[in-house]
């Protein structure tokens, strides 16, 4: 298990180097919340930083438990370890909604409060979900894409969609929303990268070749382009030749690219609020105060009209 503990005491507790560490935490009545992202990357780092700050504000211990891969079994293993060490709360972004249902329910039965953020496991016994309204976000993606087609005077004849993990609830919800706002038959293919950036780049390089005659790209998972669209030659060429592209999530290289290409846009999620509100809501659940069953955020569209303003915030 890959472990990034924020405090030495929690490091001892979680890896079991010193058996007395767990006792010390409980003796001091320090609440312990473990946050499990899908993976460690620059997107989830925003959640991490805001979660750390809120934990400091509340005077509690927070440990960041990133799996070594996007395989749901890795998160399952982490949950089982956290049950053993009797943390007070678990906040998780689920790589596989179905696979994680059983370990989440097991943690609940063990007396641990469990909530989800970013990617839900809605049929588990988790207490709450904090994150993007993904179905609505998918619809906004489709509406943005249709607007870009109209502005560029091109037609949405063939659109491909790139997602992350096929078993992740947030991906399925975004795709549902995206499909709901489009005419039937315009989506040529839905591709899944399994949260592996290099594989995502490979899929784009193969499926955006000129002979494929694709006119639109919707990235419901945006990690492959966060370091720069122009690092993927075929995608860069596709856009420069008029291909409409809507991305997901934000980075400075991506926004600089959008600034120069009016046939592109991206969606901005509120990851900082996910970290802050997720920890705050979990804390309330642990101490017996009222907590929200669902906290939803809208995405913000970033395109040529507001990209300068958004760049100034980074």
Tens of pLDDT, residues 263-312: 999 999 999 999 999 999 999 999 999 999 999 999 999 999 999 999 99
Q: Report d(CA 275, CA 271) in Å as an integer.
A: 6
pTM listed for this prediction: 0.89
Q: Which among 26, 94, 36 has a CA at the least distance from the CA of 61?
A: 26
Cα separations in angstroms, 224 against 72, 93, 167, 241: 20, 19, 19, 20
- Give the pairing of strands 264-268 and 300-302: antiparallel
Beta-sheet strand order (sheet of 32-36):
61-64, 32-36, 89-92, 113-117, 129-132, 294-297
pLDDT tens digits for range 23-82: 333 434 799 999 999 998 888 999 999 999 999 999 999 999 999 888 899 999 999 999
Query: What is the set of domains in the chain, with CATH numbers?
Result: 8-132+270-297 (3.40.50.2300), 134-269+302-311 (3.40.50.2300)
Does the pLDDT of residue 207 top 60, yes or no? yes
pLDDT at 5: 41
């Amino acid at each position: 298990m890959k472990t990034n503990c924020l405090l030495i005491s929690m490091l001892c507790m979680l890896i079991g180097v010193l058996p007395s560490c767990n006792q010390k935490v409980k003796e001091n009545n320090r609440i312990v919340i473990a946050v499990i992202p899908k993976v460690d990357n620059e997107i989830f780092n925003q959640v991490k930083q805001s979660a750390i700050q809120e934990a400091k504000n509340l005077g509690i211990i927070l440990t960041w438990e990133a799996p070594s891969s996007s395989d749901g079994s890795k998160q399952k293993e982490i949950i089982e370890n956290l049950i053993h060490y009797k943390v007070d709360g678990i906040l998780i972004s689920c790589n596989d909604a179905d696979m994680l249902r059983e370990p989440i329910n097991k943690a609940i039965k063990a007396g641990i409060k469990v909530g989800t953020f970013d990617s839900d496991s809605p049929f588990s016994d988790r207490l709450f979900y904090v994150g993007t309204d993904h179905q609505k976000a998918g619809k906004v993606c489709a509406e943005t894409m249709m607007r870009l087609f109209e502005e560029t005077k091109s037609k949405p004849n063939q659109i491909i969609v790139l997602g992350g993990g096929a078993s992740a609830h947030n991906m399925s919800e975004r795709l549902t929303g995206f499909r709901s706002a489009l005419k039937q038959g315009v989506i040529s293919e839905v591709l899944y990268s399994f949260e592996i950036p290099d594989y995502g780049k490979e899929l784009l390089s193969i499926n955006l070749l000129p002979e494929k005659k694709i006119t639109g790209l919707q990235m419901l998972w945006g990690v492959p382009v966060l370091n720069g669209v122009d690092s993927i030659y075929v995608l860069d060429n596709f856009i420069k030749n008029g291909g409409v592209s809507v991305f997901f999530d934000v980075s400075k290289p991506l926004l600089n690219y959008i600034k120069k290409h009016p046939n592109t846009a991206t969606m901005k999620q509120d990851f900082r609020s996910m970290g802050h509100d997720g920890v705050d809501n979990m804390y309330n659940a642990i101490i017996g105060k009222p907590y929200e069953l669902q906290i939803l955020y809208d995405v913000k569209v970033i395109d040529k009209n507001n990209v300068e303003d958004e760049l100034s915030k980074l």
